[in-house]
Amino acid sequence: GDASTTCTVEVYERELLVLQGLEDLDIQEDQNAVFVCEVSVEDIPGEWYKNGQRIQPTSTVKIRQEGKKHFLLMCNVHAEDSGEVKFVARNVESAAYLDVEELPMNIVKPLQDKAALEKSRVILDCTVSNPRCSIRWYKGCNVILPSERFEISSEGCYRKLIIQQVALEDEGTYSVQVGEYTCSAKLTVEAQSVLMLRELRDVDVVAPDDACFECEVSDLVLRSPVWSLNGEPLQSGPRVRLEKTGTVHRLTLRQTGPDMSGE
């Protein structure tokens, strides 16, 4: 007759164990952090976490597996990368702590004294120890903020202050502050020589007509020129008008009278 038999096959998943757990790591900023976890079974998928958040591969974070070993590489770590790193596979896990020490904040190469010709471009520069250093620029006791003439630039550890069209009033002591550290340098500005192209001419008027004087110089003058009458400086007012158009300077005396006669 017909004969038959049956059996039950039960497949048990191999127990997974951690053979080599993660180890705590203390490193400085800009170094690479490497974590290795070895399990008892090959080609088991796993996941990495930092502070409870799953880690995804990026240009600076690499995840790799070789047989039983799982690797996590974090390149050029920062202080904010500190925290708990965990590897999880099936029902096993291993955790360690990453402590990233912040690089010291100080000035490696200080400012140097500079001398410049009026209206030229001046660069004051220094080098700091950490590319993430936050610095402040000062002229005397006043903080320098970016403007049309003042440009503040940062390239890695290199810091510079660029002054466009430097003026005589820009002369003085400049300093940078990095945390507790400061350094300073003196900027000296040499005035450009200005030639008189068209001099003043004598003017005769009948009171109370206006008297207009005009002269022209060889270059733009940033500082306002000083006009005087009989040795006394003149200020803008109802009877005195001071004008400047490029290199041409004008003085207009209004409502003239005998008291305005002179040089």
How many CB atoms are located within 10 Å of the residue 22 CB? Answer: 22
pLDDT value, residue 117: 86
pLDDT value, residue 223: 67
3-state secondary structure of 40: coil
Q: Higher model confidence: residue 23 or residue 195?
A: 23
Q: Higher model confidence: residue 164 or residue 261?
A: 164
Local confidence band at 224 (pLDDT 50, 70, 90 cut-offs): confident
Chain centre distance of CA 221: 32
On the question of pLDDT at 217 being above 90, the answer is no
pLDDT value, residue 240: 87
Per residue, the 3-state secondary structure of 167-213, as one string, reads CHHHCEEEEEEECCEEEEEEEEEECCCCCEEECCCCCCCCCCCCEEE
pTM metric for this prediction: 0.53
- Between the two ends of the chain, the Cα-to-Cα distance in Å is 145
Computed over every residue of the chain, the mean pLDDT equals 88
12: which 2 tokens?
A: 């048990």
d(CA 139, CA 184): 9
Local confidence band at 13 (pLDDT 50, 70, 90 cut-offs): low
How many CB atoms are located within 10 Å of the residue 45 CB? Answer: 8
d(CA 211, CA 190): 35
Domains of the chain: 18-101 (2.60.40.10), 107-190 (2.60.40.10), 196-260 (2.60.40.10)
The two most distant CA atoms of the chain are separated, in Å, by 151
